[in-house]
Chains A and B, each alone.
Chain A
Amino acid sequence: SQQGEEDPQALSIQEGENATMNCSYKTSINNLQWYRQNSGRGLVHLILIRSNEREKHSGRLRVTLDTSKKSSSLLITASRAADTASYFCATAIMDMGRRALTFGSGTRLQVQP
Chain B
Amino acid sequence: EAGVTQFPSHSVIEKGQTVTLRCDPISGHDNLYWYRRVMGKEIKFLLHFVKESKQDESGMPNNRFLAERTGGTYSTLKVQPAELEDSGVYFCASSRDSLAKNIQYFGAGTRLSVL
B102 touches which of A40, A99, A104 (Cβ 8 Å): A99
Which of chain B's residues 23-60 have a Cβ closer than 8 Å to chain A?
31, 33, 35, 41-45, 48, 55-56, 58-59
Does A42 sit at the interface, judged by CB under 8 A? yes
Binds A, one of B13-21, B68-76, B77-85, B106-114: B106-114
Does B105 sit at the interface, judged by CB under 8 A? yes
Contact with A along B93-106 (1 / 0, CB 8 A): 10100100111111
Number of contacts between A and B (CB, 8 Å)?
62
Using CB atoms, name the residue of chain B closest to A94: B102
Given A40-B108, A42-B108, A105-B42, answer yes or no on A99-B103 (Cβ-Cβ < 8 Å): no
Which of chain A's residues 45-87 have a Cβ closer than 8 Å to chain B?
45, 48
New A-B pairs, 12, CB < 8 Å, besides A45-B104, A97-B55: A31-B101, A40-B108, A42-B4, A42-B108, A43-B93, A43-B106, A45-B103, A92-B102, A97-B56, A99-B48, A100-B48, A105-B41
Q: Which 3 A-B pairs have the closest CB atoms?
A: A100-B45, A42-B106, A103-B43
- Identify the A interface with B (CB < 8 A): 2, 4, 30-31, 33, 35, 40-45, 48, 88, 92, 94, 97-106
